Structure 1
Amino acid sequence: MLEFRQVRKAYATPQGPLPVLRGVDMSLGRGESLALMGESGSGKSTLLHLAAGLDLPDDGEVRLAGQAISSLGEPARARLRRDTLGLVFQQFHLVPSLNVADNLRLQARLAGRERPDWSTYLLQRLGLAGLETRYPEQLSGGQQQRLAIGRALAPRPSLLLADEPTGNLDETTADAVLALLRELVSEADSALLVVTHSPRVAAPLDRCLRLTHGRLGPATLTEPAK
């Protein structure tokens, strides 16, 4: 579903180019889950933006669902994101003027893949059944995060990208939300890439890599979170 081939990315600064990714190789297949760890400023968000086609590499190739992202114009990349990806962020980005039911269905409607049975099932599994007419401001933080996960999964995306998906939650709520996220991703037959600084979040996933000095390597989950 996702492949990086010798991907390099740098940003311009007054002192000259600042390399962020220095030849990253990575692959993620359907049904797999991968945690990407690293300190703040290590390039995790840059890598996630490249994976989503929100930015382009300076060199190398990013392939999403078999397509080289750099070969596509922005409209084609937007369609590929709509048809392929689900995105979950640390900030929930719920639409305040839409109730729970409409927030959950929003992404599926935009993708033209709304399935009422799957939406109803997600509401039940997410513990949001009976809250369909409430608005985001009437929900707890954990409920808002579960709703954001449900919205991302409603179109049954091939790949789910999650950026610190439990960063705003206490440990008990975070563990429950992450376990539910893994279960629902498996039921949707999606691939999952989670960006996190937390070994606790990374440990249950199939694989874990750490981004250090612009390069990927194995992560040691026994070290303290950074």
Structure 2
Amino acid sequence: MLEFRQVHKAYATPQGPLTVLDGVDLTLAAGQSLALMGESGSGKSTLLHLAAGLDLPDAGAVTLADRPLSALAEPDRARLRREALGLVFQQFHLIPSLNVIDNLRLQARLAAVEDPEWTAELVSRLGLAGLEKRYPEQLSGGQQQRLAIGRALAPRPALLLADEPTGNLDETTAGDVLALLLELVRKTGCALLMVTHSARAASPLDRCLLLSKGQVEDVTERAHDPS
């Protein structure tokens, strides 16, 4: 579903080039969940942007659904994102002028794959029944993040990218939202790449990688060890 092969990425700074990714290799199979951990500034969001085709590597290859992203023009990358990707962000990014049900339907409508039965199931599973006509500002933080997750999953994407999806929530709400996210990911069968700084959030996922000094290390065994 997703593959990085010797991916390099650097940014220009007044002090010279800053290397963020230095020969990163990773693979994510269909239906698999992967947590990406690392300190602030380690390049986690950069890696996520590359996975979504929002940015391109300086060297190496990023392949999404068997399509090398560097070989695609931006309109084709945008089309691939619309058809194959779901995106969940820490800041929710809901449309304030749309009510709950229209925010939920938005991504599926853009991809022309809206399924009313699946939308109704999402409303129920997300705990948003009875709130369909409310606007984002009338929801709690947990409700807004559940809505953002539902919007991303409404088109049944092949890959869900989540950037610190519970980072703005208190610990109890974060745990509930993460459990719901993983339940719905299993229901749709999509792959999940989740950036997080929390070992607790990473532990339920199939695999865990640590990004440090531009490279990734598999720390799945440590992440799954309850001690």
TM-score bucket (shorter structure): over 0.9
**Which residue in 1 is equivalent to 2:216?**
216
CA contact (8 A) 1:199 1:222 kept: no
**Which residue in 2 is equivalent to 1:29?**
29
**Which residue in 2 is equivalent to 1:45?**
45
Query: Per-residue displacement from partner, 1:159-180 (whole Å, max 9, x unpaired)?
Result: 0000000001111111111111
TM-score using structure 1 length: 0.97
CA contact (8 A) 1:89 1:163 kept: yes
**Which residue in 2 is equivalent to 1:99?**
99
Does residue 189 in structure 1 map to residue 204 in structure 2?
no
Q: What SS does the aligned partner of 1:175 have?
A: helix
Q: Deviation at 1:222?
A: 8.5
Give the distance between the partners of 1:148 and 1:181, measured in 2 at CA: 10
Give the distance between the partners of 1:151 and 1:222, measured in 2 at CA: 29
Percent identical among aligned pairs is 74
Q: Deviation at 1:86?
A: 0.2
Q: Deviation at 1:16?
A: 1.6
CA RMSD of aligned residues (A): 1.1
Give the distance between the partners of 2:103 and 2:14, measured in 1 at CA: 42
Q: Deviation at 1:116?
A: 0.4
Q: Deviation at 1:15?
A: 2.0
The AA in structure 2 aligned to 1:221 is: A
Query: Per-residue displacement from partner, 1:13-63 (whole Å, max 9, x unpaired)?
Result: 122211110000000011100000000000000000000000000000000
Query: Per-residue displacement from partner, 1:177-225 (whole Å, max 9, x unpaired)?
Result: 11110110111110000000000100000000000000000234389xx
Give the distance between the partners of 1:199 and 1:92, measured in 2 at CA: 22
The AA in structure 1 aligned to 2:174 is: A
The AA in structure 2 aligned to 1:151 is: R
Q: What SS does the aligned partner of 2:223 have?
A: coil
Give the distance between the partners of 2:223 and 2:31, measured in 1 at CA: 22
Gaps of 5+ in 2: none
Q: What SS does the aligned partner of 1:106 have?
A: helix
Q: What SS does the aligned partner of 1:221 have?
A: helix
Gaps of 5+ in 1: none
**Which residue in 2 is equivalent to 1:10?**
10
Q: What SS does the aligned partner of 1:148 have?
A: helix
The AA in structure 2 aligned to 1:46 is: T
**Which residue in 2 is equivalent to 1:85?**
85
TM-score using structure 2 length: 0.96
CA contact (8 A) 2:56 2:70 kept: yes
Pairs aligned (count) = 223
Give the distance between the partners of 1:218 and 1:65, measured in 2 at CA: 23
